Amino acid sequence: MAFDSLAERLQEAFKKLRGKGKLNESDIKEAMREVRLALLEADVNFKVVKTFVKNVSEKAMGSEVLESLTPGQQVVKIVNEELTALMGGSEAKLNFDSSITAFMLVGLQGAGKTTMAGKLALYLRKRNRKPLLVAADIYRPAAIKQLQIVGKQIDIPVFAMGDNVSPVDIAKASMEYARKEGCDVVIIDTAGRLHIDEALMEELKNIKSSVRPMETLLVVDSMTGQDAVNVAESFNNTLDITGVILTKLDGDTRGGAALSIREVTGKPIKFSGIGEKMNDLEVFHPERMASRILGMGDVLSLIEKAQTAIDEKEARELGSKMMSKEFNFEDYLKAFEQMQKLGPLNKIMEMIPGMNSKELKGIDMDDSEREMLKTKSIIYSMTLKERRNPKLVENPSRKKRIAKGAGVTIQDVNKLLKGFENMKKMMKQMGSMQKGSKKGFLGK
Ligand code: GDP
């Protein structure tokens, strides 16, 4: 699948960072070296790689990251934002005319233009447009026939005038035909060559000036990597394209073209082709592509949620309290409340990458939520004195009173006490381990 090998390399680089509580500059340098190599190996344009790594490094070296509670995740967040920006930031929508809209597809032979013309027509029809396909490739044998077959397959009309009429005239006539037939979008499939040549470019320029398309979309084969980028650069220089469509992304494990084209040409990627079938078309969403490359699930929303829901200072104080001897039921309650601020447990779990529904099935979320509620109500039934001094709760008559107040059994109270003691023990161990390594709780 798309970006597989790049995704693997990058995720490997970040795994090392994620495991660390605190980062220093050399950790980041090392990670950036790996990011650089991964991108070069993915066939990303070297100038793009250079700027990218520079931007990420500058942001990652900032004190905000180095001193945060989750520096590894912050670095991944920066990489994700920069990858998104590199691919254009957000979805680039198609532009339409108030009357008949013309879209012109250009590109080298074999890039997937004819297939894309059909996919686009189908996509537009699903959005209540009335597309017309136009066969303006009069050179390649059977090109006209191929478009007619595509049209038939998806039941979309195809305008053709044979191969004895000039492509400029065909394009012009197609606009007239569309008007007569009540079509509102004309998709012109132009000729491609194996290589860029002057005559072809001249012809495309003429078609463009005669029909004034709203979009001149360059179709490139993503599997050709940097060649695709070079092709995009020269088509853009002569034709001033309005956008790029990347085909065969399903077979592109490296992703170099996808990551370089926008930066090199300044033109957005609007769609991607992800298979040979007419439905295999995707709107290009830079942010989703970036998350996919980083194998992130929706971890970004999770980080953002945690950042807004939990106060860092509070979390740190609670962390050190948890490891101290004074840790009591009041703190326990606070910890619960912080967790609950993030939202329902199952929603949190869903956002964690790798936690797919299969793994989640084994855990009864409602059960965990119920347990949490029960624990809270037991603590609420304690007096302030009891909360601050958990030893008091061991007294049987107090236990009985608390259980009654919370509407639970004495066994439930015992379970809570046991869980609390275990947690305290664990925290104490963690505390001494971290003291040894001169690191505090949560990396502080
Ligand atoms: P054209 O010469 O630019 O018109 O290219 P075609 O539309 O004839 O496509 C060339 C070949 O690429 C055909 O065999 C298509 O089935 C195939 N193709 C086109 N788009 C995709 C895609 O997104 N994924 C895959 N796997 N194959 C594609």
Q: Structure tokens of 434?
A: 């971290």
For 391, other C-beta atoms within 10 Å of its C-beta total: 9
Give mean pLDDT, residues 210-232: 96
Whether 434 shows a pLDDT value over 80: the answer reads no
The CATH 1.20.120.140 portion of the chain extends over 4-86
Beta-bridge partner residues of 221: 247
112 marked as binding residue: yes
266 marked as binding residue: no
Q: Which of 247, 252, 281 to mutate to test the pocket of ligand 1 (most atoms within 8 A of CB)?
A: 247
**Ligand 1 atom index nearest CA of 140:** 2
Superfamily of domain 4-86: SRP54, nucleotide-binding domain (1.20.120.140)
Give mean pLDDT, residues 156-162: 97
110 marked as binding residue: yes
299-443 is classed CATH 1.10.260.30:
yes
Mean pLDDT of the chain: 85
Whether 358 shows a pLDDT value over 50: the answer reads no
For 229-284, write each residue's pLDDT tens digit. 999 999 999 999 999 999 999 888 788 999 999 999 999 999 999 899 998 898 89
Taking a C-beta distance cutoff of 8 angstroms, is the pair 115, 322 a contact?
Answer: no
- pLDDT confidence of residue 410: 94
Q: Structure tokens of 90?
A: 């957000």
CATH code of domain 101-293: 3.40.50.300
109 marked as binding residue: yes
Ligand 1 centroid to residue 173 C-alpha, Å: 27
Whether 440 shows a pLDDT value over 50: the answer reads no
**Ligand 1 atom index nearest CA of 109:** 2
Q: How confident is the model at residue 363 (pLDDT cuts 50, 70, 90)?
A: low
Ligand 1 centroid to residue 220 C-alpha, Å: 10
For 313, other C-beta atoms within 10 Å of its C-beta total: 8
Stretch among 50-59, 148-157, 294-303 having the lowest mean pLDDT? 294-303
192 marked as binding residue: yes
Give, in order, the Cα–Cα distances in Å from 188 to each of 192, 244, 295: 12, 15, 37
Closest CA to 243 of 263, 221, 260, 266: 266
Strands 185-190 and 131-136: parallel
For ligand 1, residues with CB inside 6 Å are 107, 109-115, 192, 247-248, 250-251, 273-276, 280
Q: Alpha helices, DSSP H only, in 136-273?
A: 143-154, 167-181, 198-211, 226-239, 256-265
Q: Which residues are within 8 A (CB) of 421 and not within 5 positions of it... i.e. 6 or more apart?
A: none
Residue count of the chain: 444
Ligand 1 centroid to residue 310 C-alpha, Å: 50
Closest CA to 279 of 426, 401, 115: 115
Q: How far apart are CA 352 and CA 333, in angstroms?
A: 24
111 marked as binding residue: yes
Q: How far apart are CA 203 and CA 211, in angstroms?
A: 13
Q: Which of 137, 189, 276, 277 to mutate to test the pocket of ligand 1 (most atoms within 8 A of CB)?
A: 276
Ligand 1 centroid to residue 203 C-alpha, Å: 23
The CATH 1.10.260.30 portion of the chain extends over 299-443
Q: What is the pTM for the complete model shown?
A: 0.69
Q: How far apart are CA 43 and CA 49, in angstroms?
A: 10
Ligand 1 centroid to residue 276 C-alpha, Å: 6
Half-sphere exposure of 349 (CA within 13 A, CB side): 17
- pLDDT confidence of residue 3: 78
Q: How confident is the model at residue 438 (pLDDT cuts 50, 70, 90)?
A: very low
Ligand 1 centroid to residue 275 C-alpha, Å: 8
For 168-197, write each residue's pLDDT tens digit. 999 999 999 999 999 999 999 999 888 788
Q: Return the amino acid letter for 90.
A: S
- pLDDT confidence of residue 305: 57
> Which of 22-26, 319-323, 342-346 is predicted most confidently?
22-26
**Ligand 1 atom index nearest CA of 219:** 3
ipTM: 0.99
For 67-91, write each residue's pLDDT tens digit. 777 788 888 889 999 999 999 999 9
How much of the chain exceeds pLDDT 90, in percent? 54
- pLDDT confidence of residue 441: 35
